[in-house]
Amino acid sequence: MIGRLNHVAIAVPDLEAATAVYRDTLGARVTPATEQPEHGVTVVFIELPNTKIELLEPLGEKSPIQAFLDRSPAGGIHHVCYEVDDILAARDQLKAQGARVLGDGEPKIGAHGKPVLFLHPKDMLGTLVELEQA
């Protein structure tokens, strides 16, 4: 069912400093920071030859990554995102196997403008997993 690794997301407390680590220290190609108020994050993409790293900084008072940073103030890997061909079929198959879909179970439009779902870390080896329609 799962296809490509679309991205690895890293939550960071200071996006400018984090971008400098990837751009200057690791010599990677980075995009300009983009505010995504509807997702409560400001995002920089690290463009690797085969996938992307997303750096996420909280935006606004109810950012979904603030609780993560409260537990891990220095930042850390927040989630991985796998592509699926058909997100509704994937969801139904996962639910039939007992995996929990976060929220109301309906796909939302994610940071790349495509439908996404999140799976409960307790069902996914302690890892928050995002599924994105390819």
Tell me the one-letter amino acid at 108: K
Which residue in the set 16, 24, 35, 86 belongs to the binding site for its own copies (CB under 8 A)? Answer: 24
The answer to whether 33 contacts its own copies (rule: CB under 8 A) is no
Q: Minimum CB separation from its own copies for residue 96, in Å?
A: 10
Question: Which residue, chain included where needed, has tokens 């995102």?
Answer: 81
**Residue 130 falls in the annotated catalytic set:** yes
Write down the H helix ranges in 53-106.
66-71, 87-96
Torsion sign, CA atoms 124, 118, 34, 63 = negative
DSSP state of 24: I
Tell me which residues in 48-107 interact with its own copies (CB under 8 A): 48-51, 53, 55, 72, 74-77, 80, 82, 93-94, 97, 99
- Those residues with Cβ within 8 angstroms of residue 47's Cβ, 6 or more apart along the chain or in another chain: 28, 29, 30, 31
Which residue, 38 or 59, is less far from its own copies as judged by CB? 59
Binding footprint of its own copies on the chain (CB under 8 A) = 1-5, 8, 10, 12, 18, 21, 24-28, 48-51, 53, 55, 72, 74-77, 80, 82, 93-94, 97, 99, 121-127
